[in-house]
Amino acid sequence: MLALIYFIILAVIAVGGALCVLFARHPLYGALSLVVSMLSLAGIYGLLGSPFVGVVQVMVYAGAIMMLLTFVIMVLNGARDSRTPRFDKVSLFVFPAVIVLGGLLGVALVSTPFAFDAGTLRGSVALTSATLFDTEASGHGYFILFEAVGLLLLSAMVAAVLMAKRRLGTTDETEGGEN
Amino acid sequence: MTNLPLWLIPLFPLIGTVVLAAISLASTGSKKGASEGIVGGLAVLFPLLAFVSTVVIGWNMPTQGVQETLGTWIDIGSFKASFGFLFDSLSRIMLLFVTGIGTLITLYSTGYMHGDRGFARFFAYINLFLFSMIVLVLSDSLLLTFLGWEGVGLCSYLLIGFWNADVSNCKAANKAFIVNRVGDLGFILGMITLAMVSSDLLSYRELSAFLRDAANVELVNILLPIFAMAGLLFFIGCTGKSAQIPLLTWLPDAMAGPTPVSALIHAATMVTSGVYLLARLSDLYVLLPGVMTVVVLIGLLTAFWAAVAGLFQNDIKKVLAYSTISQLGYMFMAAGVAAFDVSIFHVFTHAFFKAALFLGAGAVIHALAGEQDMRKMGGMLKKTPVTACVMIFAFLAIIGFPGFAGFWSKDLILERLYVSGPMGPFLYMMALLTAVITAIYMGRLMVLTFFGKYRGGEESEKHIHEAPASMLIPMVILSLGSIFAGFLWAGLIPGANLFEQTLAPVVGQAQAAFGHASVHVSPWLFAVLGTIAAVVGMAVAWKLFANRRIPLPKGSSAPEGFGATWTFCFDKIHGIVISAFRVLAWVAENVVNRFVMMLQWLVGGLGELLGDFASGLQVAKVRLQMALSLVGVIALVLIVLVYGGLL
Amino acid sequence: MELQAVYVQILALILFVIGLLTAISRRNVFFVLMGVELALNAVNLSLIGFSKTLPGDLSVAGQIVPLFTIAVAAAEACVGLAMVILIFRNQESVDSDNYSGMKG
Amino acid sequence: MLLHVLVLAPFVAALLVALVGGRGTSAYRLSLFSAAVLTVASVALIAGGDATTTAIDWFKLPGSDASVKYLLGSYTINAWLVFLSCVLSLAALVFGKSATPEGEFKNFSVGILALLGTMNGAFLALDAVLFFFFFEAMVIPAALLMAAYGGKERKSAAMNFAIYTLVGSAPMAIALWYMVAKSGVTTAEGLFAFLQGQSIETQTVLAISFLIAFLVKTPIFPFHGWQAAAYAESPAPLSAILTGAMSKVGVYGILIWVLSLFSLNETFFTTMLWLGLATAVYGGLMAWRGTDVKKILAFSSMGHLGLAVAAIFTLSPKMFPAVLVLLVGHGLSAGSLFLLSGVAERMTGTRELSKMGGLVKSKPVFGFLFGAAGIIALAVPGTAGFIGEFLVMLSLWDVGPLPTLVGAICLVLSAAYMLRLIQGVIFGKANQCEENPVHLGVLEGSVIGAFLFLLLLFGLRPGIIYENRTPENPETSVPAAEVVPADSLAVDSLALVNESMNTTETTVQTTDSLAKDSVKANAEVTAND
Of B172-186, B510-524, D515-529, where does the model show the most confidence?
A: B172-186
Residue B403 CA to residue A76 CA, distance in Å, equals 126
Return the pLDDT at A154: 92
Same domain, B135 and B177: no
Q: How confident is the model over B89-102, as a mean pLDDT?
A: 88
Residue C89 forms contact with B (CB below 8 Å)? no
Show which subunits contact A, needing at least 3 CB pairs below 8 angstroms. Answer: B, C
In chain B, the number of structural domains is 3
User: Is C102 close to B623, i.e. CB distance below 8 A?
Assistant: no
Report how many helices (DSSP H) and strands (DSSP E) chain A contains, helices first: 9, 0
In which band, very low, low, confident or very high, does the pLDDT at A27 lie, cut at 50, 70 and 90? confident
Q: How confident is the model over A23-49, as a mean pLDDT?
A: 90
Distance from CA of B178 to the nearest CA of C (A): 60
Same domain, B221 and B338: yes
Same domain, B219 and B296: yes
User: Is A1 close to C16, i.e. CB distance below 8 A?
Assistant: no
User: Is C51 close to A56, i.e. CB distance below 8 A?
Assistant: no
Q: Identify the weakest region by mean pLDDT among A96-105, A160-169, B567-576.
A: A160-169
SS (H, E, C) B247-268: CCCHHHHHHHCCHHHHHHHHHH
Residue B366 CA to residue B595 CA, distance in Å, equals 56
Instruction: Pick B523 or D24 by higher pLDDT.
Output: B523
Q: How confident is the model over D520-525, as a mean pLDDT?
A: 45
Say if B149 falls within a structural domain: no
CB D396 within 8 A of CB D307: no
In which band, very low, low, confident or very high, does the pLDDT at D517 lie, cut at 50, 70 and 90? very low
Report how many helices (DSSP H) and strands (DSSP E) chain C contains, helices first: 3, 0
Return the pLDDT at D496: 43
Return the pLDDT at D471: 62
Q: CA separation (Å) from D316 to B187, B314, B417, D409, D505? A: 22, 55, 46, 21, 12
CB < 8 Å to D518, chain B: 219
In which band, very low, low, confident or very high, does the pLDDT at D491 lie, cut at 50, 70 and 90? very low
Kindly report, residue by residue over B310-342, the tens digit of the pLDDT. Answer: 888 888 888 899 999 999 999 999 888 888 888
CB < 8 Å to A104, chain B: 634, 637-638, 641, 647
Return the pLDDT at C103: 45
Say if C23 falls within a structural domain: yes
What ipTM does the predicted assembly reach? Answer: 0.73
Q: How confident is the model over D205-224, as a mean pLDDT?
A: 88
Same domain, B10 and B71: yes
Nearest to B105 by CA among B44, B20, B19: B44
Return the pLDDT at A8: 93
Say if B567 falls within a structural domain: no
Nearest to A120 by CA among B168, B31, C54: C54
CB < 8 Å to C96, chain B: 622-623
Residue B254 clears pLDDT 60, i.e. is over it = yes
DSSP conformational letter for B486: G
Q: Which of B613, B618, B621, B637 to mutate to test the interface with C (most CBs of C within 10 A)?
A: B621
CB < 8 Å to B630, chain A: 94, 97-98, 101
Same domain, B606 and B550: no
Q: Which of C86, C90, C96, C98 to mutate to test the interface with A (most CBs of A within 10 A)?
A: C86
Interface contacts (A, C; CB < 8 Å): 262
* DSSP per-residue letters across D403-417: HHHHHHHHHHHHHHH
Say if C77 falls within a structural domain: yes
Q: Which of C8, C9, C18 to mutate to test the interface with A (most CBs of A within 10 A)?
A: C18
In chain C, the number of structural domains is 1
Same domain, B225 and B344: yes
Residue D113 clears pLDDT 50, i.e. is over it = yes
Three-class secondary structure of residue D430 per DSSP? coil
Q: CA separation (Å) from D368 to B1, D99, D375? A: 44, 21, 10
CB C62 within 8 A of CB A126: no
Say if B116 falls within a structural domain: yes
User: Is B627 close to A101, i.e. CB distance below 8 A?
Assistant: no
Percentage of residues of chain A with pLDDT beyond 90: 27
Say if B559 falls within a structural domain: no
Distance from CA of B612 to the nearest CA of A (A): 22
Q: How confident is the model over B7-32, as a mean pLDDT?
A: 84
Return the pLDDT at A83: 59
Q: Compute the radius of gyration of chain A from its Cα atoms.
A: 21
Nearest to C11 by CA among D23, A13, D346, B578: A13
Return the pLDDT at D511: 39
Say if B161 falls within a structural domain: no
In which band, very low, low, confident or very high, does the pLDDT at B554 lie, cut at 50, 70 and 90? low
Q: D78-97 b/e with 16+ CB inside 10 Å = b? A: bbbbbbbbbbbbbbbbbbbb
Give 3-state DSSP helix, strand, coil % of chain B, rounded to 5: 75, 5, 20
User: Is A104 close to B638, i.e. CB distance below 8 A?
Assistant: yes
Q: Which of A44, A87, A178, A179 to mutate to test the interface with C (most CBs of C within 10 A)?
A: A178
Percentage of residues of chain B with pLDDT beyond 70: 96
Return the pLDDT at C40: 93
Q: What angle, rounded to 10 degrees, do the helices at B142-160 and B273-280 form?
A: 170
Q: Which residue in C has a C-alpha nearest to residue B620's C-alpha?
A: C102
Q: Identify the weakest region by mean pLDDT among B109-118, C48-57, D153-162, D423-432.
A: D423-432
Residue B249 CA to residue B567 CA, distance in Å, equals 9
Residue A49 clears pLDDT 90, i.e. is over it = no
Residue A174 clears pLDDT 70, i.e. is over it = no
Residue A168 clears pLDDT 50, i.e. is over it = no
User: Is D282 close to B592, i.e. CB distance below 8 A?
Assistant: yes
CB C28 within 8 A of CB C87: no
CB B547 within 8 A of CB B378: no
Same domain, B446 and B590: no
Residue A177 clears pLDDT 60, i.e. is over it = no
Interface contacts (B, C; CB < 8 Å): 24
Say if B154 falls within a structural domain: no
Q: Give the domain range for residue C13.
A: 5-94
Same domain, B134 and B194: no
Question: Is the backbone of residue D441 left (phi > 0), alpha (psi -120 to 50) or beta?
Answer: beta
D353 φ, ψ (degrees, to nearest 5) = -60, -40
Pairing verdict, β D73-74 and D67-70: unpaired
* DSSP per-residue letters across D93-125: HHHHHHHSPTT-HHHHHHHHHHHHHHHHHHHHB
CB B476 within 8 A of CB B390: yes
Same domain, B519 and B584: no
CATH of the domain at C30: 1.10.287.3510
Q: Which residue in C has a C-alpha nearest to residue B626's C-alpha?
A: C24
Residue C56 forms contact with B (CB below 8 Å)? no
Show which subunits contact C, needing at least 3 CB pairs below 8 angstroms. Answer: A, B
Distance of CA C101 to the CA centre of its chain: 25
Say if B231 falls within a structural domain: yes
Interface contacts (B, D; CB < 8 Å): 159
Show which subunits contact B, needing at least 3 CB pairs below 8 angstroms. Answer: A, C, D
Say if C68 falls within a structural domain: yes
Q: Establish whether the linkage from the previous residue to B505 is cis, with ω within 30° of 0.
A: no
Same domain, B370 and B257: yes
Kindly report, residue by residue over B583-633, the tens digit of the pLDDT. Answer: 988 888 888 888 888 888 888 888 888 888 887 776 667 777 788 888 899
Q: Which of B76, B146, B169 to mutate to test the interface with D (most CBs of D within 10 A)?
A: B76
Return the pLDDT at A80: 57
Chain-wide mean pLDDT for chain D? 81
Question: What domains sit in chain A, N to C, each tagged with a CATH number?
Answer: 1-77 (1.20.120.1200), 124-179 (no CATH)
Residue A54 CA to residue A46 CA, distance in Å, equals 6
Give the Cβ contact number of residue D357 at 10 Å.
23
- Give pTM, 2 decimals: 0.79
Is residue B572 exposed (0-12), middle (13-18) or buried (19+ Cβ within 10 Å)? exposed
* DSSP per-residue letters across B367-384: HTTT--BGGG---HHHHS
Kindly report, residue by residue over D333-376, the tens digit of the pLDDT. Answer: 999 999 999 888 888 888 888 888 778 777 888 888 888 999 88
Give 3-state DSSP helix, strand, coil % of chain C, rounded to 5: 80, 5, 20
Return the pLDDT at C46: 94
Q: Which amino acid is at A5?
A: I
Same domain, B508 and B587: no
Residue D490 clears pLDDT 60, i.e. is over it = no
Residue C27 forms contact with B (CB below 8 Å)? yes
Kindly report, residue by residue over A75-95, the tens digit of the pLDDT. Answer: 887 655 555 677 777 788 888
Residue B65 CA to residue B63 CA, distance in Å, equals 5
CB D245 within 8 A of CB D84: yes
In which band, very low, low, confident or very high, does the pLDDT at B129 lie, cut at 50, 70 and 90? very high
Say if C104 falls within a structural domain: no
Residue B623 forms contact with C (CB below 8 Å)? yes
Say if C25 falls within a structural domain: yes
Kindly report, residue by residue over D286-332, the tens digit of the pLDDT. Answer: 888 888 888 899 999 999 999 999 998 988 888 888 889 999 999 99
Element (H, E) at C98: none
Instruction: Pick D152 or A166 by higher pLDDT.
Output: D152
Q: What angle, rounded to 10 degrees, do the helices at D510-528 and B167-197 form?
A: 80
Return the pLDDT at A155: 92
Domain boundary among B492, B521, B554: B554
Same domain, B608 and B525: no
Residue D355 CA to residue D352 CA, distance in Å, equals 5
DSSP conformational letter for C56: B
Q: Identify the weakest region by mean pLDDT among B414-428, D394-408, D442-456, D483-497.
A: D483-497
Residue B2 clears pLDDT 60, i.e. is over it = no
Three-class secondary structure of residue B362 per DSSP? helix
Say if B428 falls within a structural domain: yes
Residue B347 CA to residue B267 CA, distance in Å, equals 10
In which band, very low, low, confident or very high, does the pLDDT at B76 lie, cut at 50, 70 and 90? confident
Three-class secondary structure of residue D361 per DSSP? helix
- Longest Cα–Cα distance in chain C: 56
Return the pLDDT at B373: 82
Q: Give the domain range for residue B509.
A: 169-554
Residue A30 forms contact with C (CB below 8 Å)? yes
Regions of chain C short of the pLDDT cut 70: 100-104
Three-class secondary structure of residue D429 per DSSP? coil
Distance from CA of C70 to the nearest CA of A (A): 7
User: Is A15 close to C14, i.e. CB distance below 8 A?
Assistant: yes
Return the pLDDT at D520: 47
CA-CA-CA-CA dihedral for C94, C96, C99, C103, to nearest 10: -170
